[in-house]
Chains A and B, each alone.
Chain A
Amino acid sequence: MVRAERLGAGWLAVGVVAVLVAVVAGVAAGPVSLAPLDVARELLDRLPFVDLRSGLNERQAAIVWDLRLPRVVLGLLVGAMLAVTGSSYQGVFRNPLADPYLLGVAAGAGFGATLAIVSGAGTDVGFVEPLPLAAFAGALAAVALTYLLGAAGDRFRSPAALILAGVAVASFLTALQTYVQQRESDTLRDVYAWLLGRLSTAHWDEVRLLLPYAVITAVALLAHCRSLDVLSVGDEEAAALGMHPKRTRLVVVIVASLGAAAAVAVSGLIIFVGIIVPHTIRLVAGTSYRVILPLSLLLGGAFLTLVDLLARTVVAPAELPLGVVTAFFGAPFFAVVLRTSRRATA
């Protein structure tokens, strides 16, 4: 049974506060210690009609504006995208293990990025960085291939057929990517630097690239909360209620893939966020997609921003790979949530 739940004001407040905490902490703290008040003054100074002297020198101002702020903003966007697309996939495929990289998004992006690096296109300093675009194109091509294959293999386009097609496409593209990478071992370093998930080289360019897709994806997915709730009871039941399960699934898959592809294009692979955040929300806040999707956006963004803060401060001035930190803190946290909520419902 679907519990017809709405997002209560309490949980909405939790989500908004989490985002605010993440932003303030992310901008105020970092490997270089700057006085939080100076940082605040520096930020306010840029507002129109505000003239404050921050006491930061040019390099410190650059740290705040060109390094910390874009990294925090990108963390919010990428985390929000990964969590919201993860929960949508889980709903649309009725598979709790579905993640944003299902259907070949990651493998396609990796192959696209590798081709761009090997062909030398990744090194241009142009108006648009070709590397994320190639990754984005690769990710979308992979999803399209998966969908064609899944549709061809199964007249009824069941969720299982699509997931299996995704596995096949991902394996094939990963094989191609590894082959190209081995053939051109001069570029190995560059390829690995890209493949690993990171926000460490985040700049406003990446934010600009991701933002439009993030907005489209967020709005379109939020518009489908109710449909996802209905779909979760099963295709036949949904059809009986006057819905078009296949059409709905197609729209959600396309929109979610667009968001996931854009996120992977700017940040590489950051695993775990797309699974852990939605399931934590299911366990503590509610199982209706009208609760899960908006909270995924807020808490996913806050989670990744805070985790990235740890990645850049724990061993400062060195950095930890983001994926290590998401799993290191995410897995035990999730285990605790899983245990306590089981007890509560038992």
Chain B
Amino acid sequence: MPKRILALSLVPVALLALAACGDDDDDGDSAAQGTTTTAAAEGLPERIVSLSPTATEMLFAIDAGDQVVAVDDQSNYPEEAPRTDLSGFEPNVEAIVAEDPDLVVLSEDTGDVVAGLEAADVGALLLPAATTLDDSYDQIEKLGDVTGHADEAADVVQGMQDDIEEITSSLPEREGEAPTYYHELDQTLYTATSSTFIGQVYDLVGLENIADAADDGSGYPQLSAEHIIDQDPDLIFLADTKCCGQTAETVAARPGWAEVTAVRQDHVVELDDDIASRWGPRVVDLLRTVADEVARVPA
């Protein structure tokens, strides 16, 4: 997701987004976007390279960590993942091949890296950013199949589903209007609408997104500060604490923000950017953080 934000911030792309305004069918295919595998080696992979932090978390969660020989520089979880200088932003086929992998897992085909790996006779598995929880489950199961850990993968998925069920069912009954929230991606007020993966997580606990009116089809619009203050969200979630150093204090110090309900009632939540931008098993942790905060909001 951070990369999508990045792409969105680039003016030429923003121009395209402008042209695509009012187009509402374009996210349909990204929901259906499947996984792509090429030239898989025979037998189970023994030397996996992951260039996707989410895939790294999934691989270790399904006990396939022993087969992973290298992960990219952003794959900071779990701790034991063999982090290297490899970059998922600017993948370098030569550097990847130097790890002698039999399978490379990535979330984006930047610079035709998949074709490059194919040419080098290395299998590639593309697991793009999930747009629904089901996408996420599918990717975990796919990794289970490919690595020979199908049972563990099924357990992980089942565990996630059970946890989510438990968290959502333990929320107190709420009468009246649903609390509103604003999810911040960076301090220039890029946000995620309820149509995105993260937006659906908030849906699970019955929160209402203040950015939906601004959705430009991408799901990641840049809001005007006026709109946020006018909408007066009950909760603010910061997914820009690590990248951009935002905290409850910096938000409260922004001119005009002190009057916002979330700030006045101390409901500005500092999320871990990484957990909030990945679609792996730790989405359960995110949901728990969000649910705990929702429980603190008076009905």
- Using a CB–CB distance below 8 Å, which chain A residues touch chain B? 30-32, 58-60, 62-63, 65-68, 70, 120, 122-123, 125, 182, 185-190, 192-193, 196, 198, 200-201, 203-204, 312, 315-321, 323-324
Contacts and interface: CB of A to CB of B under 8 A. Distances in A.
B174 interface: no
Given A188-B6, A193-B186, A323-B11, A318 B244 contact: no
Contacts of B232: 59
B243 A190 contact: yes
Contact of B87 (A32, A185, A321): A185
A185 to B, nearest CB: 6
B260 interface: yes
Given A182-B89, A186-B243, A200-B188, 10 more contacts: A63-B226, A63-B229, A63-B256, A67-B256, A189-B2, A193-B188, A196-B188, A318-B224, A319-B189, A324-B14
Contacts of B242: 186
Given A68-B226, A189-B240, A193-B244, A58 B259 contact: yes
A320 B190 CA distance: 11
A58 B226 CA distance: 13
Contacts of B255: 62, 66-67, 70, 203-204
Contact of B188 (A70, A120, A198, A203): A198
18 contacts: A30-B226, A63-B256, A65-B256, A67-B225, A68-B226, A70-B255, A122-B245, A123-B245, A185-B87, A193-B9, A193-B188, A196-B188, A198-B188, A200-B225, A315-B214, A316-B214, A317-B227, A320-B18
A294 B74 CA distance: 51
B229 A316 contact: no
Given A59-B229, A59-B232, A67-B255, A189 B224 contact: no
B249 interface: yes
Interface of B: 2, 5-6, 9-11, 14-15, 18, 21, 73-74, 87, 89-90, 185-189, 211, 213-216, 221-227, 229-230, 232, 240, 242-245, 249-250, 253-260
Contacts of A63: 226, 229-230, 256
B243 A200 contact: no
B215 to A, nearest CB: 8
Nearest to B74: A185
A324 B11 contact: yes
A39 B38 CA distance: 61
A189 B276 CA distance: 15
Contacts of B224: 30-31, 200, 312, 316-319
Contacts of A182: 89-90
Nearest to B225: A67
A59 B186 contact: no
Most A C-beta atoms less than 10 A away, residue of B11, B214, B225, B230: B225
Contacts of B211: 317
Nearest to B249: A125
Contact of B256 (A31, A62, A123, A187): A62
A317 B225 CA distance: 9
B213 A317 contact: yes
Contact of A192 (B10, B87, B258): B10
Contacts of B222: 200, 318-319, 321
Contacts of B213: 317
A188 B227 contact: no
A189 B243 contact: yes
